[in-house]
Amino acid sequence: MAARLLMGISLGFHIVFAVVGIGMPLLMVIAEGLWLRTRRPVYLELTRRWSKGTAILFAVGAVSGTVLSFELGLLWPYFMRFAGPLIGMPFSLEGFAFFLEAIFLGIYLYGWERVSPRLHWFAGWVIMLSSVLSGGFVVLANAWMNAPAGFTIVQGRVEDVQPFAAMFNAAALSQVQHMVVATFIALGFAVAAVHARMLLRQPHNEFHRRAYAIALAVGGLAALLGPLSGDFSAKDVAQRQPLKLAAMEAHWETQAGATLLLGGWPDEAAERTLGAIPVPYALSLLAHNDPFATVRGLKEWPPGDRPPVAVTHLAFDVMVGCGTALAIVALLGAWQWWRTRGPPLARWYLWAVVLCGPLGFLAVEAGWTVTEVGRQPWIIYGLMRTAQAVTPVPWLPLRLVLFVAMYGFLGVIVIALMRQQVFQSPSARAWQDD
């Protein structure tokens, strides 16, 4: 249990920085592109300021990611012995993506005076592409755990390994596309929220206006895609892991024309869900595109095979709730933008964006909880139980405490430094009333 908690915390920590590492390069490339085109100094300042923040976050992302690659062995040696070669292809490719990312990030951050502006901008593009790729490759590895493929088992031994078939498994497309969209939602809204907060204090600050407009455009567009992309994932899960779907929806009885439950508390002992809002036929419609389709319920599986229903269901509702809220705010923003032909600066809207800032990250964490907890008790779906994979080394609770302390320390420092670097930078005043 300590091992699972430790893995979850390590990943939950890393994913925040991964999202930043994937999303920020896009924002910087846009800002720098605008600087190259318009030559307005505000865009240059913006690019530089963003890249400072990114440097800090990227470094923490890199070290926390390194921890993860050790952690796979330190916590799950038997899983890795089995799966290492099978998920190795995406991980090896990811290694190269990391290289490109780190190389061009070095050039981008420290090379302002060393390379030509066009080359510098190009370096930004390389970072952006390789970080999307690296994120995509890891998610492919994770998708394999949900939909193992690319091998056959003959008398308990793995035979006939096909690394590429393992890489392009059944869950690959749905998970990767959803993760990429989610990343841009989370990052776009978080950055927009920071600058919206500053705009509430200094409404005419040109610097924050530009920053806000770019980030909101990225986050908002992605947020409009979010529900579509999530729906695609949900339909896929319904096909591939009906048990996980049932847990996500806290759906106990097999039912044709199944009812969707919003919220509520799944009582696992009594096998029912209390206090949820029912929406008739919606579940069948969402899962199978047909309001009368049959959706299998949790009771079809013995209790020992079920994932923790309450956690999975609530996490799923949190994700969908956040996604819906963000999509609504994005729609309102699009409408305002179209009406005023400029970024929506009304105070109520700025407040809405500020409030939405954390929701994207919350949804990312919740979504991963759904995927990972919903896969339990399997580490490799249908093949290996998590309990069979864990390391025999004792003292894991001690390590848990140690690492939580370490993450806490890193987190506090990062926040303190970000405040120094980005939020309270004195030169922000210079752009007032441009």
In the complex, the residues that contact ligand HEM under the rule CB under 6 A are 4, 7-8, 11-12, 14-15, 17-18, 20-22, 58, 61-62, 65-66, 68-69, 72, 76, 79, 98, 101-102, 131, 134-135, 138-139, 141-142, 365, 368-369, 372-373, 375-376, 379, 386
Report the residue number, 11 or 283, with the smaller CB distance to ligand HEM. 11
Residues in the chain: 434
By CB under 6 A, the residues from 132 to 161 that bind ligand HDD are: 139, 146
CB of 341 to other proteins, least distance (A): 38
CB of 228 to ligand HDD, least distance (A): 9
CB of 180 to other proteins, least distance (A): 22
Binding partner at 379 among ligand HEM, other proteins, ligand HDD, none, C-beta below 5 to 8 Å by kind: ligand HEM
CB of 265 to ligand HDD, least distance (A): 20
**Which candidate, 214, 209, 206, 208, places its Cα nearest to that of 189?**
214
CB of 61 to ligand HDD, least distance (A): 16
Q: What whole-number distance in Å separates Cα of residue 9 and Cα of residue 342?
A: 41
336 HSE (CA, 13 A, CB side): 18
The letter for the amino acid at 310 is A
| 235 sits near other proteins (criterion: CB under 8 A) | no
The letter for the amino acid at 29 is V
Q: What whole-number distance in Å separates Cα of residue 364 and Cα of residue 165?
A: 27
Which range, of 34-42, 121-129, 151-159, 179-187, touches ligand HDD by CB under 6 A? Answer: 179-187
The letter for the amino acid at 398 is L
Residue in 323, 333, 343, 357 binding ligand HDD, rule: CB under 6 A: 323
Using CA atoms, how far residue 269 sits from 207, 298, 308, 336, 373, in Å, is: 56, 12, 11, 49, 18
* Burial per residue of 82-103, b for 16 or more beta-carbon CB atoms within 10 angstroms, e otherwise: bbeebbbbbbebbeebbebbee
Radius of gyration of the chain (CA): 23
Contacts of 161 (CB under 8 A, 6+ apart): 85, 86, 150, 151
| 19 sits near ligand HDD (criterion: CB under 6 A) | no
By CB under 6 A, the residues from 362 to 381 that bind ligand HDD are: 363-364, 367-368, 370-371
Using CA atoms, how far residue 398 sits from 13, 60, 65, 326, 395, in Å, is: 19, 23, 21, 39, 5
| 233 sits near ligand HDD (criterion: CB under 6 A) | yes
**Which candidate, 386, 430, 433, 368, places its Cα nearest to that of 18?**
368
Q: Which residue is nearest to ligand HDD (CB)?
A: 230
Binding partner at 138 among ligand HEM, other proteins, ligand HDD, none, C-beta below 5 to 8 Å by kind: ligand HEM
Residue in 158, 285, 383, 400 binding other proteins, rule: CB under 8 A: 158
CB 175 within 8 Å of CB 143? yes
Residue in 15, 56, 171, 326 binding other proteins, rule: CB under 8 A: 56
**Which candidate, 178, 171, 219, 233, places its Cα nearest to that of 356?**
219
By CB under 8 A, the residues from 292 to 321 that bind other proteins are: none
| 179 sits near ligand HDD (criterion: CB under 6 A) | yes
By CB under 6 A, the residues from 234 to 253 that bind ligand HDD are: 234, 237
The secondary structure of residue 390, as a DSSP letter, is S
CB 268 within 8 Å of CB 231? no
Residue in 7, 28, 171, 318 binding ligand HDD, rule: CB under 6 A: 171
Which range, of 35-43, 161-169, 180-188, 301-309, touches other proteins by CB under 8 A? Answer: 161-169
| Bridge partners for 380 per DSSP | 384
- Rounded to the nearest 10°, the torsion over CA 306, 310, 312, 317 is 150
Report the residue number, 8 or 257, with the smaller CB distance to ligand HEM. 8
| 184 sits near other proteins (criterion: CB under 8 A) | no
Which range, of 108-116, 168-176, 190-198, 288-296, touches ligand HDD by CB under 6 A? Answer: 168-176
* CA 358 from centre of chain: 13
* CA 409 from centre of chain: 22
Q: What is the three-state SS of 400-431?
A: HHHHHHHHHHHHHHHHHHHHHHHHCCHHHHHH
Q: What whole-number distance in Å separates Cα of residue 425 and Cα of residue 381?
A: 49
Binding partner at 317 among ligand HDD, ligand HEM, other proteins, none, C-beta below 5 to 8 Å by kind: none
| 121 sits near other proteins (criterion: CB under 8 A) | no
Residue in 35, 43, 98, 207 binding other proteins, rule: CB under 8 A: 98
| 144 sits near other proteins (criterion: CB under 8 A) | no
Footprint of ligand HDD (CB under 6 A): 139, 146, 171, 174-175, 178-179, 182, 185-186, 226-227, 230-231, 233-234, 237, 319-320, 322-324, 326, 360, 363-364, 367-368, 370-371
